[in-house]
Structure 1
Amino acid sequence: MIDLWLIGIGTGNPDHVTLEARAALRDAALVLVPRKGPDKADLADLRHSILRACDSPARVVEFDMPVRDESLPYATRVTRWHDEIAAIWADTIAAAQPEGAVALLVWGDPGLYDSTLRIAARLDPAPRLRVLPGITALQALTAAHAIPFNSVNGAVTVTTGRRLTDHGWPGEADTAVVMLDGNCAFRHLDPSGIHIWWGAYLGMPEQVLEAGPLAEAGPRIIDKRAVARTRHGWIMDTYLMRRA
């Protein structure tokens, strides 16, 4: 049985790593760093820069992330992808034979729209888990725009781009936060009375923000997102919408 630490590292800014997370990175024996292809090499580099900023002496081992089979139904493809990642983790840890805890650096927070915990549950034997929360994209977004997360006595729904496309505005909440949206799903909404606050690379030097009535800001977001993705080869973004 291994000790597996899932460490939330915020949105890429080393200053977002909590003191608790910094201490854990200094105590870990092994850190696993995923490689997601040459177009996303910056993501691995950012993890290495965070480790250096935290003065972590841990041994670092990189591994190649498998590619999802897009020909399969969504649920099936994600399940198989998680199975493959868990198998790679197990093989990588077994080969490294760490004498201490194994750590994974998780963007944002391991408990919010992230599958690291579900992948860890596939390991056999089950590891002793320790989860260290991190600053979420939700916090970074509302801070960047200097707006409250919720309206007075209002409900907030956190959802995905896929669900927004398939089901429209989520329920009766007056505020919706959308994550994991690679296709600007807000385009499928009637923009009347909706205000949007969008951000990419939150908290990083590359940060890009846009806000305004959805009818006006939506096209600007689509253009800015396309330019940023082409420039960097990857993008992490999220947005909050509120009905008047």
Structure 2
Amino acid sequence: MHAKVRVRVLGVGMGPQHVTGEVAEALGTVDYVLAAEKTADDQLLALRRAIVAAHPGPTGPAEVIAVPDPERDRSAGLSAGGYDAAVADWHDARAAQYAAVLTERGGTAAFLVWGDPSLYDSTIRILDKIRALGVDADYDVLPGISAPQLLAARHRMVLHDVGRPVHITTGRRLQDAVTEGQDNILAMLNPPPDRLDFTGLEDWTMWWGANLGAPGEQLLTGRLADVLPALAPARDAARRVDGWVMDVFLVRRT
């Protein structure tokens, strides 16, 4: 029987400047931080280390334990079912690796989640898988500043018209949302623009942002057909500065 492990799931926005007082206090209570290492020169791992260093506990910053991230099938032509299966396999592999570390180390661990844990992040799902593997883990979740919040703030806008909804989805499901009749759509987890289908949306308005809150932040807005040619160069510019790129956009029928 393994000892109980405490895990803290902490939303950290896009860097040290977005860490709330609540999350900063929580960072001071953990023994170590578990973080995926995607490449040998993982700039997002470096950013996680900067967040931890900026918010030390009584004896200094928590230790950051880098766990090599399992490979995932990212083929451009995956069907919806194939994509879901690839992600499920990836999550299973992640859960097994994290479970091994938590079982060995015990104590209080943390996962740092980009943006907010409630939006297109699977840390909570992976923790459920870890518990199913037999790890006695008790966890709490603290919110962070999300990409949609940052997008709205940077463009000085409200994400929806008065009394109207905003539909949140992924870029690969954009046309599904349009077919369903959605006309105010916020898309996250976006691939490069050449892999997105903007058919029929040429006259819609787009508000787009990449690496929001980071040094390489990029912003574009206007009629979608006019903005579209600038998306790839802007993504490349963000990547050159930060070493990584994540973007989010809102499209609305004019």
TM-score norm. by structure 1 comes to 0.90
- Per the alignment, residue 86 of structure 2 pairs with 77
Unaligned stretches of 5+ residues in structure 1: none
Q: Which moved more, 1:120-129 or 1:3-12?
A: 120-129
The answer for the alignment partner of 2:43 in structure 1 is 42
**Alpha-carbon distance in structure 2 between the residues aligned to 1:180 and 1:54:** 28
Q: Which residue of 1 aligns with 2:157?
A: 147
Residues 14-35 of structure 1 deviation map (CA, whole Å, 9 limit, x = unaligned): 1211111000000111211221
Q: Percent identity?
A: 38
Distance apart, 1:168 and its partner CA: 5.3
Deviations 1:107-130 (A, max 9, x none): 011111111111110012352120
Change (3 A) 1:15 1:170: farther
Deviations 1:88-108 (A, max 9, x none): 10112233x243x21010001
Instruction: Determine which of 137, 156, 168 is the counterpart of 1:158.
Output: 168
Deviates more, 1:68-77 or 1:170-179: 68-77
Give the superposed CA RMSD: 1.9
Q: Which amino acid counterpart does residue 128 of structure 2 have in structure 1?
A: A
Q: Does 1:9 find its partner at 2:19? A: no
3-state SS of 1:241 partner? strand
Separation in 2 of the partners of 1:206 and 1:170?
34
After superposition, residues 123-202 of structure 1 pair within 5 angstroms as 123=130, 124-165=134-175, 167=176, 169=178, 171-184=180-193, 187-202=197-212
* 1:43-122 aligned within 5 A: 43-56=44-57, 57-70=61-74, 73-95=82-104, 97-99=105-107, 101-122=108-129
Partner of 1:220: 230
Write the distance in 2 (CA, Å) between the matches of 1:231 and 1:18: 25
SS in 2 for 1:177: strand
The 3 A distance-change label for structure 1 pair 174 and 188 is closer
Which of 201, 214, 217 pairs up with 1:207? 217
Return the TM-score normalized by structure 2.
Answer: 0.87
**Is this contact kept in 2: 1:108–1:136, CA < 8 A?**
yes
Answer yes or no: is the 8 Å Cα contact 2:216–2:242 preserved in 1. no
For structure 2, list consecutive stretches of 5 or more residues without a partner in the other structure: none
For residues 178 and 201 of structure 1, the distance between their equivalents in structure 2, rounded to whole angstroms, comes to 14
What does the per-residue CA deviation read over 1:131-163, in whole Å, with 9 as the maximum and x for residues that have no partner? 001000000111011111111111110011111
Aligned mates of 2:40, 2:206 — CA distance in 1: 32
Partner AA of 1:2 in structure 2: V
